[in-house]
């Protein structure tokens, strides 16, 4: 063993390739080092280190000094070793091979750790741990978070969770916990609507970064029991008015609850058309808007449309284009406002009759206009109008109305009216010296022309009249048996079917 013993009980020991080191100070021997146990305690229960001069030598501590003092080489107790404040480029506690890495004092109660001469992490007097190249704690939403990663680049303000392993297990990830325990490590169950934690996205408004743009929070969403804590996740966004409102909430029943929305800004819309989609008009009332305007409305009583509904043709009786499942289940066309029932086409299951119904404006009472019977001996019977109102049916087309059955007028006083005029099927003609020529393109070679005396002229008694000549599609001639007859003759043309 090599070494040097000093008279003042201080030993400077030079370590070489030795298996153990021991020093004698006065009559006492101190074992300083051995490969098996490291630094060893001496007979006086003291620890000793080495130095070049007696006044600079410090022991770790001695029975004569308390745990906050160090034993000097001359036997006196001294304060702990104190270093200079240092800086990022020259930290107080550094390494001989890399002197710009280590710890230093930034300011009062504020320490930092530097690498490559740049501050990387600091702990403030309030206990905030700041990671990045800044020593400035940022307030967010009225609080100063204990752990902050603040930087001036993407790499200086990012963190990654990851796992590399040849198995199906994912990375550990990040966990946010909440307990009603009064102190850390004590546990008490949470209750319904307790906040669990969340994330806030906050951007600088020119003053600070306390304004929330997007917020995501988790809550307890039901009764809590051992091993079961139902959860709810809420996402909120801030609108252009500055109000942070609920956008969507996922509850413990796995429902996605949307904001109400409007026709102009439906809640469920599309990236290519933000003004078209679904929204909530009122309780149990859903609207579908197109280009910012209500197009369809579905509620607990009816489904209405502000636009025409086009129904494709059916392919079979089992797959019709339109199926009615109950009485008056389909309202084909309607008006809005007070006269919401002004037009309806429905199936009356009680009488098994299809009906077209309208509203009587005189007394605001619904009246059947067209009825089509679908069962019994009267199947296919079409009824126009009703017994109450003064109804009329008009065929506006110029084609032929064909009736395979009888044409009946069942009410006394009602009858058949025919339009008169140029080229008509019915009219009157005044005899001149017993003759009248009727010009009309309606007469055909096979037409049946019916004549009757409308009023007498120069004759006292009616005379026999008849059609004595005709030119198809041009005219026919009426002649009286009395050449002096000036009576008015009524005529009617009927063609065989």
DSSP 415-428: ------STT-SEEE
**pLDDT, mean of residues 344-363:** 66
Residue pair 251/220 in contact (Cβ under 8 Å)? The answer is no
| 3-state secondary structure at position 298 | strand
And the tokens for 466? 């008849």
User: How far apart (Å, rounded) are the C-alpha atoms in residues 278 and 297?
Assistant: 10
What average pLDDT is seen over the chain?
79
And the tokens for 79? 């304060």
User: How far apart (Å, rounded) are the C-alpha atoms in residues 464 and 483?
Assistant: 11
User: Between residues 346 and 68, which one has the greater pLDDT?
Assistant: 346
Smallest CA-to-CA distance from 269 within 281, 259, 278 is with: 278
pLDDT of residue 475: 97
Q: What are phi and psi of 59, to 5 degrees?
A: -85, 165
**pLDDT, mean of residues 289-293:** 94
% of the chain surpassing 70 pLDDT: 71
Rounded to a whole number of angstroms, the CA Rg of the chain reads: 54
User: How far apart (Å, rounded) are the C-alpha atoms in residues 268 and 273?
Assistant: 11
**pLDDT, mean of residues 201-206:** 92
Pairing outcome for strands 129-132 and 343-348? unpaired
End-to-end C-alpha distance for the chain, whole angstroms: 144
| 3-state secondary structure at position 358 | strand
pLDDT of residue 424: 96
Q: What are phi and psi of 55, to 5 degrees?
A: -70, -15
User: How far apart (Å, rounded) are the C-alpha atoms in residues 140 and 153?
Assistant: 20
Helix (H) or strand (E) holding 121: strand 118-123
21 DSSP β-pair partners: 33
Range with the largest mean pLDDT of 139-143, 220-224, 361-365: 220-224
User: How far apart (Å, rounded) are the C-alpha atoms in residues 97 and 325?
Assistant: 89
For residue 313, give the DSSP letter: P
pLDDT of residue 370: 77
Longest dimension (CA), the chain: 181
| 3-state secondary structure at position 438 | strand
pLDDT of residue 362: 58
Smallest CA-to-CA distance from 330 within 350, 349, 313, 317 is with: 349
And the tokens for 128? 């905030």
pLDDT of residue 347: 64
**pLDDT, mean of residues 222-229:** 96
332 pLDDT band, cuts 50/70/90, is very low
User: Between residues 329 and 218, which one has the greater pLDDT?
Assistant: 218
**Tens-digit pLDDT profile for residues 376-429:** 666 667 777 776 666 667 777 788 888 888 888 888 998 888 999 999 999 999
User: How far apart (Å, rounded) are the C-alpha atoms in residues 476 and 480?
Assistant: 14
Here the contacts of 404-407 (C-beta below 8 Å, separation 24 or greater) are: none
**Tens-digit pLDDT profile for residues 433-481:** 999 999 999 999 999 999 999 999 999 999 999 999 999 999 999 999 9
Of the CA atoms within 13 Å of residue 487, those in its CB half-sphere come to 23
60 pLDDT band, cuts 50/70/90, is very low
Of the CA atoms within 13 Å of residue 223, those in its CB half-sphere come to 1
pLDDT of residue 3: 39
Residue pair 103/90 in contact (Cβ under 8 Å)? The answer is no
Q: Which of 235-249, 326-340, 396-410 has the lowest mean pLDDT?
A: 326-340
* The residue to which tokens 């009485």 are assigned: 327
Here the contacts of 418-422 (C-beta below 8 Å, separation 24 or greater) are: 418/492
275-297 burial code (b ≥16 CB/10 A, e <16): bbbbbbbeeeeebbbbeeebebb
Of the CA atoms within 13 Å of residue 273, those in its CB half-sphere come to 9
**pLDDT, mean of residues 158-163:** 86
302 pLDDT band, cuts 50/70/90, is confident
Q: Which of 27-41, 237-251, 398-412, 423-437 has the lowest mean pLDDT?
A: 27-41
Residue pair 196/221 in contact (Cβ under 8 Å)? The answer is no
User: Between residues 134 and 127, which one has the greater pLDDT?
Assistant: 127
pLDDT of residue 98: 93
User: Between residues 64 and 104, which one has the greater pLDDT?
Assistant: 104
- Residue 50 pLDDT more than 90? no
**pLDDT, mean of residues 480-493:** 96
User: How far apart (Å, rounded) are the C-alpha atoms in residues 242 and 5?
Assistant: 80
What residue ranges in 211-250 does DSSP mark as E strands?
A: 212-220, 231-238, 244-250
């Amino acid at each position: 063993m090599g070494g040097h013993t000093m008279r003042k009980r201080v030993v400077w020991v030079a370590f070489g390739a030795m298996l153990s080191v021991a020093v004698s100070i006065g009559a006492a021997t101190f074992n300083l080092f051995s490969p098996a146990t490291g630094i060893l305690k001496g007979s006086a229960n003291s620890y000793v280190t080495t130095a070049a001069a007696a006044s600079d030598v410090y022991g770790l501590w001695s029975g004569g000094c308390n745990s906050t003092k160090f034993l000097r080489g001359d036997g006196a107790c001294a304060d702990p070793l104190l270093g200079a404040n240092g800086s990022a480029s020259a930290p107080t506690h550094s390494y001989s091979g890399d002197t710009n890495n280590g710890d230093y004092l930034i300011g009062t109660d504020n320490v930092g750790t530097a690498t490559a001469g740049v501050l990387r992490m600091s702990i403030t007097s309030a206990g905030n741990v700041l990671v990045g190249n800044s020593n400035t704690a940022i307030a967010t939403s009225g609080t100063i978070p204990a752990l902050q990663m603040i930087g001036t680049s993407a790499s200086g303000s990012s963190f990654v969770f990851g796992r590399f392993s040849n198995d199906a297990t994912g990375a550990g990830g990040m966990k946010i916990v909440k307990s009603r325990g009064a102190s850390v490590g004590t546990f008490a169950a949470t209750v319904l609507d307790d906040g669990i934690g969340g994330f806030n996205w906050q951007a600088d408004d020119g003053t600070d970064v306390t304004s929330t743009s997007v917020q995501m929070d988790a809550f307890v969403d039901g009764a809590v029991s051992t091993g079961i804590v139902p959860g709810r996740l809420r996402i909120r966004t801030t609108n252009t008015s500055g109000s942070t409102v609920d956008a969507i909430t996922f509850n413990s029943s796995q429902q996605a609850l949307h904001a109400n929305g409007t026709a102009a800004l439906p809640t469920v819309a599309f990236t290519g058309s933000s003004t078209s989609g679904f929204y909530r008009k009122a309780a149990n009332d859903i609207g579908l808007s197109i280009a910012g305007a209500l197009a369809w409305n579905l509620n607990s009583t009816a489904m209405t449309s502000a636009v025409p509904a086009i129904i494709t043709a059916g392919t079979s009786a089992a797959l019709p284009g339109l199926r009615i499942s109950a009485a008056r289940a389909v309202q084909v066309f309607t008006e809005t406002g007070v006269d919401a029932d002004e037009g309806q086409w429905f199936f009356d299951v009680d009488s098994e009759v299809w009906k077209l119904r309208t509203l009587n404006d005189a007394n605001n009472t619904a009246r059947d206009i067209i009825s089509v019977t679908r069962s019994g001996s009267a199947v296919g019977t079409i009824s126009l109008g009703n017994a109450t109102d003064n109804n009329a049916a008009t065929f506006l087309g110029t084609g032929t109305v064909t009736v395979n059955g009888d044409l009946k007028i069942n009410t006394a006083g009602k009858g058949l009216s025919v339009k008169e005029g140029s080229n008509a099927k019915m009219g009157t003609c005044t005899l001149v010296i017993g003759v009248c020529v009727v010009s009309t393109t309606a007469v055909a070679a096979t037409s049946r022309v019916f004549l009757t005396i409308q009023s007498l002229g120069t004759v006292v008694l009616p005379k026999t009249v008849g059609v004595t000549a005709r030119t198809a599609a041009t005219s026919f001639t009426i002649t009286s048996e009395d050449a002096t007859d000036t009576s008015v003759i009524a005529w009617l043309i009927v063609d065989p079917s």
